[in-house]
Amino acid sequence: MPTIARILGFRVVIYFNDHRPAHVHVIGNGCEAVFSLHRMASAVRLSENYGFKAREVAKIKKGLIKLSPALWAAWTDIHGPE
């Protein structure tokens, strides 16, 4: 599971043996959230949240939107095109 980026000190990872659709896991401080990725940067969506506070989720999402093109490229490098 390579760390693709860091947002607010949390790791953004893509698992090698993970399923589609494209998504990333954000991990840190005993919490994990899964965000769906789409080709449109503003379409990053929270899919699952295990422990992050709503305010943290909002900040993480903003960071993911900024990194969305790079995250999409990393997903397609690892898993191939959608």
Alpha carbon distance 3, 17 (integer Å): 14
What are the domain boundaries of the chain?
Answer: 3-79
pTM here is 0.92
Q: pLDDT band at residue 1, thresholds of 50, 70 and 90?
A: low
With tokens 């929270």, the residue in question is 46
Give the tens place of pLDDT for each residue, 25-79: 999 999 999 999 988 767 899 999 999 999 999 999 999 999 999 999 999 999 9
User: Which H helix or E strand runs over 66?
Assistant: helix 54-79
Alpha carbon distance 27, 12 (integer Å): 7
